[in-house]
Structure 1
Amino acid sequence: MLARHDHATSWLQAWSDLGRAPRTIDAYARGLAEYLLLCEREQIDPVTAKRSHVAVYVRELSARPHHRGANVISLDSGSGLANATIQQRLVAVRLFYDFLVEEGLRQSNPVGRGRYVPGRRRSGGLQQGLFPRLTKLPWIPSDDQWLRVLDVARREPVRNRVMLALAYDAALRREELCSLRTDDIDPAHRTLRVRAETTKNRLERVVPYSAPTGVLLSSYLAHRATVSRARGPLFLSESRRNHAQPLSLWTWSKVVRRIALEAEVERFSTHTTRHLCLTDLARMGWEVHAIATFAGHRHTDSTLRYIHLSGRDLADKLNRGMQHIHAWRIQTLTSEQMPTTDGVVHG
C-alpha cells in the first residue's frame, strides 16, 4: 500500500533518516497504510483530502471491531479499538499532513490539533480535536491479585523471576527491560543503567534495585553462563529455535500473559509492574519530582498519571477527616456552649 504513494514513502524515509526508533516508524507506517487504504476505497485523493474525509476515517476506527475479538482485555473507547489506539492512528495521519504542508503540497493540515480559542471558558480556551482524548488512571492489582501473580511467578525459571523483579524494582518499561545488557549492571552499587536509545523519550537514567533482587540476579548470571559466556544482551532465549539469542519483546509479553492467566489476573501486563512501583513510591511519600526522575519522565504531568491512590488509601483519609468533623458536630449537639470549627468555645 505505502509503495504506491510516493509522498508516504518519502515521509517515512525522512523520519527514518532522523533516527526515529524502528518500532515508532513501524507504528506510523501501519497507521498511515490504514488511512491510505480507506482513501483508495472511498476514491479520495489523500493529498487533497479535507477534514470531512479524515472524519470518515475516525468514524471507521471508532466502529471497527478489534481484531483480537473476545481476547480483548479491556476497552476504553466503547468500541473495538481503545481510545489510545485511535489517537495513535491519528498521530500518524497528522504528521503525514504536516510533511505535505512543509513540502508545499497543501496549505493546511486537515487533522489539526487542539488549539486555543478566546472565549471558550468552559474548556479553558482549548478547542477539542477530531476525536476526544480520554486520560484514564492506570490499573494496578490489589494486594490479593499481586500475591496470586507472585505465587505463580515463583515457580517460573530464574530468568523470568529476575525479569519480573527488575521490572517492578526499577519501574522498567518492557523495551527497557528486554534491552538490558551485561555491562548495564553495577552489582557493587546495585544499580542499572537504562540507556537512552532504549527509553521512550531518549533520556538515560541510572536506577537502583533491591538486595533480594540482587541475590536473584546473581543466580541468573550463574545460570546465564551455562547458556552463553558472551557479553551483550542480559536476557537470552533458551528455546531450541533461538537458543542464546536476545530475548524478544514478544516472548516476554507471552511469558507475562501466561502468568496473568494462570493467576486469574487477566489485566496484568508487562507495564503493570511499572504502574505499581510508581504508585508505591507515591504511597511512601516520595515527592513527584523524585518519582519523575526515577521513572525517566521529562515532565511531572506524565508522572501524575501514574500516581493514584487506591480506594483503601482514600477511605483511610476520608475516615480520619470524618472523625474530626464528627467529633465537632457531636460536641455542638451535646454542649451548652457553641464551639467553632477552630476549637474555640464561645459562651
Structure 2
Amino acid sequence: MTLEKRFPTLFSQPHAREWLLEKASDLASNTVSAYGHALVDYFRFCAIRAINPPDAKRTDVRAYVTDLKSRSKFGMPARRPGYVKSTTHDGFANATIRLRVTTVRLYYEYLIDEEVRTTNPIKIVKYKRGRGFNGNSRGMVERYEKDPWLPNETQWQALLNAASSECIRNRFMLALAYDTGVRRAELCALETGDIDPSQRLLHLRAKTTKSQRARQVPYSQATGELYAAYLQHRRRISRAPGPLFLSESRRNKGLPISFWTWSKVVKALGERAGLPLFTPHTLRHLRLTDLAQAGWKMAEIAALAGHVHPATTMIYVHISGRELSERFRQTLDSTLDWRQETMQTSLQ
C-alpha cells in the first residue's frame, strides 16, 4: 500500500506530503510509518483546536504535548473529541510521546529549510558546562528509562509450557525471535530466501532493518528443527516463495502476517502463561542479556542486535542485583579480595 493510500489526510496537508516522501527515500518503511501516524495525530489535534499546522506557535505545540501526556498510560485517558483509544493499552508510553514530539520537530525543520517559516516551535534547550547537564540537550518531554521486565527461570518454563500448544508457525517464530534477538518488524518481514539452513544463519536485508544495514545472525539447532517442520507445514498453504510467515485465518489465508498479528499472538501467549508483561520485545531484551551473562563482548552483542553504536546495547543488557552479588562473591579470590582485605585492615 502506498503512502498516499495509508495517510490520505496527511497528504492533503501542504508540505506534509513532500516531507514524508523525503523521509521515505532515506529511512526504513517502519520508521516512515511511525512518522506518518505521529503527524496524522498532530494534524488531528490541530484541526480540533483550529490551528493551521505550518503557522503553529510554541504554545500550540506545548498544548499538544500536554494533550499527549493526558493520554499517557501513566494517567487517565482524556475524554475529548477526536481521542482515539489505543487497542493495546490506555494512552501512550513515554517513548511514544517522545517519538511524536520528535516527528513534529522534524516536520518544522523541513518547513524552515523550505523557507515556509523561520523558527521551530520545538527547540531543544542546550545547557552549557556548569549550568546543568554538561552540554546535554533537553526537549519538551522528559525521558524515562525503566528496566524492562524479564522472566526468571520459572516464568520462562511457564511460557514454554504455554507455547507448546501453539501452532508450528508460532512456536518457530518464538524460538527464532529469541535465538536471533531480532525486532518484531524484522521477524515478520522475513522471506523464504532469508534463511540458510545449511549454516543455520538468518539473513536480514538492509531495507527491513531499522538501521538500514544488512546483517547475519545465527540460530540454534533446536530452532532449525522447528524451521524444517514449519517449512513442510507452509507448503500446505503456499509453495510460492516470498514472505516466510503466512496467515492461516479464513479471511487472510496465505497472506503475510503483520507485526500487529504477531503482537496479539505474544500477548495471548503471555496471558495464558500468567505473564501479562510479556511482549515481543521481551525476547530481544532477554536474548541480549543472556549473551552478556554468557561472556559475549558488547561489540559482538551490538553486531547481533544490529546496533550502530555499541553504547545502545547497554540499554538492552540488564544485570540484576542478585547477579551482581553473585559476581561479587566469585571475585573474592582475585585482586579485589586483596584490596578488600587491605581496606578492612587499614580503615577499621
Query: TM-score normalised by the shorter chain: which range applies?
Result: 0.7 to 0.9
Distance 1:177 1:2, change over 3 A: closer
CA distance in 2, matches of 1:96, 1:195: 28
Residues 340, 180 of structure 1: CA spacing in aligned structure 2 closer, same or farther, 3 A cutoff?
A: closer
Q: CA deviation at 1:245?
A: 1.9
Alpha-carbon offset, residue 260 of structure 1? 0.7
Matched, 1:8 2:16: yes
* Separation of aligned partners in 1, 2:327 and 2:206: 39
TM-score relative to the length of structure 1: 0.85
**Residues 12 and 29 in structure 1, CA contact (< 8 A), matched pair in contact too:** yes
Which amino acid counterpart does residue 116 of structure 2 have in structure 1? Answer: L
User: Where does structure 1 lack aligned partners over 5 or more consecutive residues?
Assistant: 74-79, 332-338
Secondary structure of the 1:193 match is strand
Which runs of no fewer than 5 residues in structure 2 stay unpaired?
1-8, 78-83
- Asked if the contact 2:179/2:218 (under 8 Å) is kept, the reply is yes
Task: Work out the CA distance in 2 between the residues paired with 1:343 and 1:322.
Answer: 16
Question: Separation in 2 of the partners of 1:235 and 1:21?
Answer: 20
8 Å contact kept, 1:138–1:305: no
Query: What is the alpha-carbon distance in structure 2 between the residues aligned to residue 164 and residue 341 of structure 1?
Result: 49
1:44 aligns with 51
> Contact conserved, 1:94 with 1:111, CA < 8 A, in 2?
yes
Q: State yes or no: 1:58 paired with 2:65.
A: yes
Residue of structure 2 equivalent to 1:72:
89
Q: Does 1:131 align with 2:141?
A: yes
What does residue range 163-202 of structure 1 map to in structure 2 within 5 Å? 163-202=173-212
Query: Residue by residue, what CA displacement relative to the aligned partner does 1:63-104 show, whole Å, maximum 9, x if unpaired?
Result: 12446579638xxxxxx4211011011011111101110011
- Contact 1:162/1:217, CA 8 A, preserved across alignment: yes
Aligned to 2:105: 94
Computing the radius of gyration from Cα coordinates, the structure with the larger value is: 1
Residues 279 and 308 in structure 1, CA contact (< 8 A), matched pair in contact too: yes
| Map of 1:29 onto structure 2 | 36
Distance 2:243 2:14 in 1: 38
**8 Å contact kept, 1:149–1:263:** yes
How many residue pairs get aligned? The number is 327
In structure 2, what is the Cα distance between the partners aligned to 1:69 and 1:33?
Answer: 15
2:169 paired with 1:152: no
Shift of 1:5: 2.5
Letter in 2 for 1:274: R
Write the distance in 1 (CA, Å) between the matches of 2:236 and 2:324. 49
TM-score normalized by structure 2? Answer: 0.85
Q: CA deviation at 1:264?
A: 0.9
Deviates further, 175-184 or 289-298: 175-184
1:294 to 304, 319, 322: 304
8 Å CA contact 2:30, 2:185 repeated in 1: no
Are 2:186 and 2:209, in contact at CA under 8 Å, matched by a contact in 1? Answer: yes
Residue aligning to 1:245: 255
The amino acid of 1:87's aligned partner reads R
TM superposition shift of 1:33: 2.5
Measured in 1, the distance between the counterparts of 2:255 and 2:248 equals 8
Distance 2:27 2:298 in 1: 29
- Identity rate, percent: 44
Rounded Cα–Cα distance in structure 1 between residues aligned with 2:168 and 2:145 = 36
- CA apart distance, 1:219: 1.3
Please tell me the root mean square deviation across aligned C-alpha atoms, in Å: 2.8
Instruction: Select the residue among 207, 213, 221 that pairs with 2:223.
Output: 213
Deviates more, 1:293-302 or 1:175-184: 175-184
